[in-house]
Each structure stands twice: as C-alpha cells, then as structure tokens.
Chain A
Amino acid sequence: MRDACDFDYLIIGNSAGAVGCIECLRSVDQEGTIGLVAEEDYRVYSRALLPYCLSGQIGRDKLYYRPLDFYDRAGVSVFKGQRAVKIDNQERLVNLTDRTRLGYGKLLIAAGGEPIRPPIPGIDKQNVYSFHSMPDLLGIEKELAVAKSALVLGGGVIGLMAAEALHKRGIDVHVVELADRLLASAVDETASELVKDALEKAGVTLYLSSAVERVQGAERLQSVTLKDGRSIPCDLLIVGAGVAPRVELAEGTGIEVERGIVVNKKMQTTVPDIFACGDCASIYNFVTGTEQNLPLWPNAYLGGRIAGFNMAGIEKVFVQGAAMNAMHFFGVNIINAGINLTGSNQKDGLRVIKEYKRDSRIYRKFIISEKGHIKGFILVGNIARAGIFLNLMRRKIDVRDFQQALLKSDFGYADLPEALRWELLQGDVILGVV
C-alpha cells in the first residue's frame, strides 16, 4: 500500500523548465497526470523580468509568465509552498516538506539555482538582498521607500540589470566588481568598455578590480568597506555574485552531479526515468561539445520541452544549448553567443574577424574555427537579425567563403552563397518557376 498521490509525470520546480515541459507534455499527451512541486507560493513568474519590474517599466501583474488559469487548463496538480526534500528512486517517490509523498512515473528535476552569497563579514544584515526571486523583489521594493544609495556586488548580467533598474528609481548606484572589467565572462574587452561607458555616462559609479572586505552596520547595513580601504555609505546591498545549481535532491539517488545534475542529450540523468533541465542541470553545449551548466532562459525552456518529449516516450535530443545572452544597459543593446575569446583567454585554431566603429559605437566580432564554423559572436549596438548567426553556428556552416559579409550591418540570407542559401531556406521559398 502506498499513501501517496501518484502522477505519470512529476515536476520539481516552477519556472521556465517546468513550463516548457508542461506545454510539451500537453501537446503530445492529454491524458497522463501531471504533478508539480513549487517551493514558492506564487504562480509561475518570470525571474528574468524582475529587473523590468524593479525599474518600474512593468507592473507586478506582468511578472506572471503564463495566464492565471495555466495549470488548470493544462490539468496540473500544483503543490505550492512545498519543497521536495528527498527522492526515493527505488520506490519512485518524492517526499515533500509537509511529509506528503508523491509517486512518479517520470520525474523532472527543474529545481533551478541558488544565488551565491560570498562569505563576507556582515553580509547577513537585513537590507542585503539577492536579486533572484519575488521575495527579493518585494524586499528591495520596501527598502526603496527610504534608500538613497545602493551598492551592487557583481558586474555581471544580473548585477548590471539591478544597477540600471535602481538608477532608474532615482537611487545612487555603486557597482563593485572583482574582475578588471564588466560582464567579463560573457563578452570581450571592447564590449565591456562600451558597457562601462554607458553606465558611467548615466552616473553609475564603478569599482573594478575591487572586492568588499566588510559590510558595516548593526542590524542594518550602513556602509561597505572595500579591500583597498575605501568606504561606501549605502542603505541597500544587492548581491549579484552568480547562481549555483541546486543539486541537493540528487544526493543518495546515484544521480551523477558535476557542477549541475548531469544529463544526456535527451535530458535524462544517470538514473532511469529521472530527467533534469534548467539552472540545476549540466546540459550538452553544442559549441564546446561538453556538458556544462548553462543557466539561461532559452536553455531552460527548451531543455524542459525536450525532457517532456522523452518523458512521454517521444525521442528527441536537445542540441541547441549554448552560452547566449540578449542584454541591454542604458540603451546599449548587446547579443552574444558561444565561446567568449578574450585577451586573456586565447585558444588554438580559432580566428577572429571583427569591426569596431568607434563613432557609432557599433561592434561586431566573430570567432571562427579552422573548419570555418562560427564558434562565438558578439554584437554591440546593432543586433538586428542576430539569430541568423546563431543558426549558422548551430548548423556548423563553413563561413569562410563569405566571412567578410558577416560584418555587414544588414547581413542576411542574400549574402550567403547561392547553394547554401537555398539549402537553408528549403521549404521557405519556391524555386524553378521560370
């Protein structure tokens, strides 16, 4: 006898990966039962929208990623405010915090990531927040009623988005970054410089090659001391120091974990009938050919979708995952994907073609392998039709015959050699009419 509810499909997590999986499952299987364990009490919202809400660009109602009746229409039983604490893969049961036990036929772990809190003395003070969840947003919102000056720890994507949002709310913003440039893991020196200029021009104060020594104050922070001795008075601290994959559920199950939960191209973990996707997983990176933690929205949604197909017995592989970002800071649009080749990170056999138009602040860079495959690119300023480059990268097209055309501001399918162009657009155009 089992004292549990049984589901054909059980999903742990309630963000992009879970929705990708549910939408896929319901397109191929209307009958199977679906259960979902949601740690937070909210219906599914988009973490990626938090900066837009903080800046005031959108209201809180727009944070929700799917309509109010999403779960009902998809026939999903939601266990809200519950955390999955243990997977028993022998009995095929998941234990929740309130001791409920849920049985599964197929299980998807889409548990996401946990914001990293660097071990800095005083970082546990009241007005210190990560920027990763609805409670974070609500907490920061509350502080804004009185806050005048904020320090953002981390000059990566999240940190800079938080910085811009706070600046738009009239807060004096300081960004502290360990590396000697912004967005160091995503883009190269030139792109970093363009972003730095945009932030400084807007009035954000940057502290590069800097680290926080101590967070000062009693219960609430009042200032931050840097390693070089400088002190920055502030009444709000946002920690944007990255996100670690949540892999704790894999413990004791035999599921292989590297940085994230390791999955194959079908999103299967090393334990039968257990799948994983999104920020908690290490997925196949088609650019590098290795498994990597790639905590980005498109990877999470598509990974969940491919997991859904395989959970429903339809074999599909996820081979579109890679590092990729669409970003914008104070009006500067940036898109990057694939390998990030920088001054300090050179690799054999890779060539670079690039163009930097200093006056218009437009930058384009492509990293090309010996075989002529695009392995990475950065676009700043003009990001139009960027997806064509991603497509050429995914399809491992030899671009050597037309590589200079990649730098054209209006590059398109017309710039490809004829045979390749019509091959890529097969089924999209009609040829042979004259």
Chain B
Amino acid sequence: MGRIKAKPEVCMGCHLCEIWCAVAHSKSKHIIKAFLYEVDKPLPRLVVEEKLPLTFVLQCRHCAEPDCVAACISGALSKDPQSGRVIYDADRCVGCYSCVLTCPYGSILINPQKRGIIKCDLCAGLDSLYCVSHCPNEALTYEDS
C-alpha cells in the first residue's frame, strides 16, 4: 500500500494542492469550468496544516487498521483488500460523523454542501495524483511501501 507523504521543510504553503485536489474531484476536471460554472463547488479532500512558517499537507493515510471503517455504522467506508485504499461510498453514508470522531489524523472532512464527508481517494480512476503532480516545489511524493 503506497502513501502520499509531505515534505514540510519544502512546502511553501501555496495551497495549490488544495486547488488541484478540488479540480481532480470536480465534474469537468477543468480548473476554470470547475470553479466558475459547476453547481457543486469543487472541494479539496486534504488539509494544509499551517502555523507559519510551518506548512504541510495531511490527507487520509489509508491506514492498515482504519478506525474510520470500524466506526462506520452504514458500511459506507471500507478497506479494499486488493488496493489497500480506504474507500468511501457516498451513496451509503448517512452523515453520522463517527469517522470524524475516530480518524486520528483529522483527515475525514465534513462536506459543507450536503450531510456526508469528503476524503482522499488517492485520485481513483485518474491518471495521476493531482496534489503530488501539481506541487510546484515537489513537497509531496508518493511512496510505495
């Protein structure tokens, strides 16, 4: 199971990872169209931890023993045995926020648009990891374990 890892010392705090994460999970995947015209405003699925001058990115760690999956009352969160990803099925989620209570990284974010959550899906179905590939200072990397 690979993971995205941040390099805090070279993170400039530009928040472009947030922008591109939101674009990656928009309908159009187009930066202009997504922010200007899509009805559901594109949302990032990661957190830029910030206490200047310190900045770094933290997103779902796709834990080996995910507390969020254990806490999920609806079966919306599951650990895919093949890929190792912690997968979120929005259709099954009721928005109880038990996962918000148990995620040790604070990486399950509350969806402000509708009752439910948003989390990193490691850009499932996309050709690259948008936060990693768009970081201008290579402060994010994907490491295979």
Contacts and interface: CB of A to CB of B under 8 A. Distances in A.
Nearest to B92: A62
20 contacts: A46-B73, A58-B94, A326-B98, A326-B100, A337-B101, A383-B101, A384-B106, A384-B109, A385-B47, A386-B106, A387-B101, A428-B5, A428-B61, A429-B8, A430-B5, A430-B141, A431-B7, A431-B8, A431-B9, A432-B9
A48 interface: yes
A48 B97 contact: no
Nearest to B73: A48
Interface string B77-109: 000010000000000101111111111111011
Contacts of A412: 47, 49, 58, 106
Interface in A76-110: none
Contacts of B5: 428-430
B110 A326 contact: no
A413 B3 CA distance: 18
Secondary structure class of chain B's binding surface, majority of residues:
mixed
Contact of A65 (B54, B71, B74): B74
Nearest to B69: A301
B105 to A, nearest CB: 7
Interface residues of B, number: 41
Interface residues of A, number: 46
A391 B110 contact: no
A307 to B, nearest CB: 13
A390 B104 contact: yes
A188 B73 CA distance: 25
Contacts of A302: 67, 70
B96 A328 contact: yes
Contacts of A65: 73-75
Given A46-B73, A297-B73, A433-B9, A415 B51 contact: yes
A429 B75 contact: no
Contacts of B10: 433-434
Interface in A37-59: 46, 48-49, 52, 57-58
